[in-house]
Structure 1
């Protein structure tokens, strides 16, 4: 998963030359490898359009003991980079009254800016805020960006925060557009690789676009995420049948609940109850005799089956998410289900409530074999059919 450079024909590089293309590893997340620091150290990061703060795993490389060779560390060693600096407590970002900086910061005993952040799934990330450059090539270096330097997150990978927040990689770096293509996952194998671009995508003339929606009035409501990529989902089709779900279910209500977000950092798709119950009802009608009774996978997926997923997929038919301009994300019937182990497969749609989320999330499972382009400059999202392997 090494990043190569890719100049898109006719598109001049933007600031810092955004015509960078590379490959990522796809297991349940999109794991990109990016060169950080001076000289660059390759860091593995989850490309996450649902979060703001980017962070890397920081650790000093311990000197090798005489007898044992330590496992090679994948973390970032700040002492080896000449462009690394820490954010002191008196930096404006360390004053928590900044309204759109949604990551709680405090001052630690070393007078450094400490952050701690709980993700929706309950995992904690904490560390210090630092500044560091991304070194895409000797002539393509970003200015120092604010990142988290996690001292002990227990995760092998960091996060590349790609939402619309002002501290995301996209915003700090003025990335005009970026895109990725999630490959089909071959079973549980962790070695599928996909492609991504920071900047123009040479295939974009074949993309079909939908608008990104913004709801300024809901900015401060507790259930609304104003930094997410929010789209207008209009309906869901199973086979040839459009389900009887009001389009209002997919748009935020007065309290901000119900927005529909495209999130590369969530694996499955999650729907609010009013939509989920209709999907489940139709699945039960089509394949009810095979549904696994009283079974939920991972606290979220409860449309699960034993036996051959292709047979079940055949009974259910294609599942499609419908948007404006006739744009659809259609998932072939052979790929409706995801194997979760032990001969069990589940339809890759869960209840948002099970995540404690008040909106709808279209996860990366339903973005397989598609170019998905986040055109930040023109506030739109593009989709293009592709073979992403």
Structure 2
């Protein structure tokens, strides 16, 4: 009898021990691989000219890099203007892939089970996440391995009967009953494929991973899009203009990015955070979303302590939606409506008089000199928004090196195609964390060195 009781007691202790160990192992596994949507998904951003970018060219001259940034920004501005003027025309969706090359950011994100890394262009003016998939009928070359849906246990095509299909501009394939998307761009190029759902894998700061369900993305099989063998597709950060569950909507309607010195190829702290854990700190101002774009309430500009004579109504949107000020992550330079640009130009010319010699340029205000040497002591130029939010542009954000002996102001007047809209580009956002809280209609500007945020990303 005593032996039986001892055995029963031992068996009970054994069961408790196994339960505790199983619970511990489950908790460890859960911390290493999280199957549900986390609060925060952090992604390293790789600038086009970074040493971490597949596009990095160590032999490129200052003039070549500047020319690429100028041409890319002007191309993107023209395309975005076409979208704004034709918001309900799907064929007017701009060809954003080449339009942000040379100025944009790349991110590596893994998709599928097992995970396969894909290199994506980040685009705040596009509302779709898409990348190339097998079978590729017509595809451009890319550096990562092509994604094979048949080898992923978590991939699923979206059926025609799904709300995701009806809420998008996709069509139904009557043979397969799957939803097929097509994006036709202004220059006649296009991308075609399946709308599908999949799982994305993000690394965490404690060397674990989180697995996030992606409700809708484009698995592209036909691409007549010019590319030169590096990225796989696009991660769109636009909130969208309809009911399509865009990546931002799927992941909590908040995101933030921090941008350091884009002229420093060694800088490695640029990052993007998606979800409720985005860094929403600093001074807020009004954020409006319209036609898939983000508009901010710019009210004035100052240089040092001097506020420029600019009527705040210059930057306001008209009754028909024309004008206003957009903020963009794919345009290098800032474009201002003439009534806002001319007072700024006049003040800069006044400050430069007798110090640097003017150099003729068809688009930019330029001088003979070096940004690092000849602009020491130049006052900070501040973009002032409602709610007392500010973007302070130091010399590296206000000017750029056009060539070894010529510097130019990184702000220029809008071009005729822009329909009165101003645009705040990446250079003006350097040394800031920019947080988007779309549901609250707020955008936050926090001046900071992005490396400080490394421990919490």
Normalising by the residue count of structure 1, what TM-score does the alignment of the two structures yield? 0.75
Consecutive unaligned residues in structure 1, runs of 5 or more: 1-12, 63-69, 215-224, 297-301
Taking the aligned partners of 1:357 and 1:59, their CA distance within structure 2 comes to 41
Q: Give the distance between the partners of 1:201 and 1:381, measured in 2 at CA.
A: 15
Q: Counterpart in 2 of 1:194? A: 270
| 1:44 aligned onto 2:119 | yes
Cα distance in 1 for residues equivalent to 2:441 and 2:109: 26
Task: Please say if 1:163 is aligned against 2:234.
Answer: no
Partner of 2:357: 290
Matched, 1:77 2:77: no
Residues of 2 paired with 1:349 and 1:150: CA distance?
40
1:264 to 295, 319, 329: 329
Does residue 132 (structure 1) correspond to residue 197 (structure 2)? The answer is: yes
Tell me which moved more, 53-62 or 371-380.
53-62
Q: Structure 1 pair 59/154, CA: closer, same or farther in 2 (3 Å)?
A: farther
Aligned partner of residue 257 in structure 1, secondary structure = coil
TM-aligned CA deviation for residue 92 of structure 1 = 7.0
Please, which runs of 5 or more residues in structure 2 have no aligned partner?
Answer: 1-33, 49-102, 203-208, 452-457
Tell me which of 252, 264, 271 is aligned to 1:175.
Answer: 252
CA drift of 1:374 comes to: 0.8
Q: 1:290 to 1:81 in 2, by over 3 A?
A: farther
Tell me which protein shows more helix as a share of its residues.
Answer: 2
Q: 1:354 to 1:181 in 2, by over 3 A?
A: farther
- Structure 1: distance between partners of 2:194 and 2:136: 20
User: Is 1:251 matched up with 2:313?
Assistant: no
Please give the alpha-carbon distance, in whole angstroms, between the structure 1 residues aligned to 2:343 and 2:174: 53
Q: Distance in 2 between matches of 1:311 and 1:355?
A: 36
Could you say which residue in structure 2 is the equivalent of 1:220? Answer: none
Distance 2:438 2:392 in 1: 24
Say if 1:313 and 1:334, in contact at 8 Å, map to a contact too: no
| 1:376 aligned onto 2:376 | no
Q: Find the aligned partners of 1:202 and 1:177 in 2 and give their Cα distance.
A: 6
CA apart distance, 1:191: 5.7
Out of 434, 449, 452, which is 1:387 matched to? 449
Aligned: 1:209 with 2:274: no
Aligned-residue RMSD, C-alpha:
3.5
2:251–2:274: 8 Å Cα contact kept in structure 1?
Answer: no
Partner SS for 2:109: strand
Q: TM-score, normalised by structure 2?
A: 0.65
Tell me, yes or no, if the aligned pair for 2:389 and 2:444 is still in contact at 8 Å. no
The structure with the largest alpha-carbon Rg is 2
Identify the residue that residue 31 of structure 1 maps to in structure 2: 106
Distance between the aligned counterparts of 1:110 and 1:311, measured in 2? 66
- Structure 1 residue aligned with 2:302, among 233, 237, 243? 237
Name the CA distance, whole Å, in 2 between partners of 1:123 and 1:364.
Answer: 28
- 1 CA distance for matches of 2:401 and 2:407? 4
**What does 1:358-369 align with in structure 2 at a 5 Å threshold?**
358-369=420-431
Cα shift at 1:178:
1.5
Say whether the 8 Å CA contact 2:397–2:430 is kept in structure 1. Answer: no
Partners of 1:76 and 1:294 in 2: CA distance: 45
